[in-house]
Amino acid sequence: MNSSFNPVPNYYQFNIPYYMLPGNRYSDGYGYRSEGEGFNQPQADAKNGEEKGKEVYKDDFVTGFVPDHNHGTVDYTSIEDGHVHQCLDITFPPKLLKDGTHIHYVEGYVLFEDGHHHYYKAWSGPGIPVGNGMHVHYYDFYTTVNDGHRHRIKGVDMPAPGTL
């Protein structure tokens, strides 16, 4: 692995709030749109031909499933070997399960601390409705073993639109 690789995106270094991070705007409910040609224009629904032109933002009330949404996480690992690491990540888009629920994949590094870092790969639990058309996911996993120990990371990610 390239030792100059920085796994933490630059926007974390500037303490930008989650709602301002890229990728938290949806225009047609079926994928991301960027500002530019076709932005905020009604889109044909791939399933039934209905037009959808309303954007869905991170804090909007939305029932059902919102494809391509993601969640942010700001957490700390368990205390091991006298220290903790901060864990900052954004989940991958959801994986829809056969029972109609969905989960998210996360992968990355905890922040460098005490002369080392740890890597992790994990799946969240299913969505948990929290009211106001939002949901969260519980997670509980372990990092890789580095410097003779590993850390546990568990908690709940930040809310995202949708109730499933």
Q: Name the residue among 52, 56, 92, 62 with its Cα closest to residue 162.
A: 62
In a domain, 76, yes or no: yes
**Would you place residue 63 in the very low, low, confident or very high pLDDT band (cuts 50, 70, 90)?**
confident
32 or 74, which is more confident: 74
Parent domain of 31: 10-161
pLDDT in tens, 91-101: 999 999 999 89
9 pairs with which residues across the strands? none
In a domain, 5, yes or no: no
In a domain, 2, yes or no: no
48 or 144, which is more confident: 144
Rounded to whole angstroms, what are the CA distances from 152 to 7, 43, 104, 110, 157? 19, 43, 18, 11, 15
In a domain, 93, yes or no: yes
Mean pLDDT calculated for residue range 44-54 = 42
| 12-24 burial code (b ≥16 CB/10 A, e <16) | beeeeeeeeeeeb
164 or 112, which is more confident: 112
Residue 118: partners with Cβ closer than 8 Å, 6 or more residues away: 77, 85, 109, 110, 143, 144, 145, 146, 150, 151
Mean pLDDT calculated for residue range 63-83 = 89
pLDDT higher than threshold 70 for residue 42 = no
Mean pLDDT calculated for residue range 49-74 = 70
What is the distance between the alpha carbons of residues 130 and 127, in angstroms, rounded to a whole number? Answer: 9
Q: Report the mean per-residue pLDDT for the chain.
A: 74
Mean pLDDT calculated for residue range 75-90 = 94
In a domain, 3, yes or no: no
Percent of the chain topping pLDDT 70:
62
Query: What does the pLDDT read at residue 129?
Result: 92
Instruction: Name the percent of the chain in helix, strand, coil, to the closest 5.
Output: 5, 35, 60
Mean pLDDT calculated for residue range 50-74 = 72
Measured in degrees and rounded to the nearest 5, phi and psi for residue 129 equal -60, 135
pLDDT in tens, 108-139: 999 999 999 999 999 999 999 998 888 999 99
**153 neighbors 139 (Cβ within 8 angstroms):** yes
Q: Name the residue among 125, 130, 159 with its Cα closest to residue 57.
A: 159
- Overall domain count for the chain: 1
In a domain, 4, yes or no: no
In a domain, 1, yes or no: no
**77 neighbors 113 (Cβ within 8 angstroms):** no
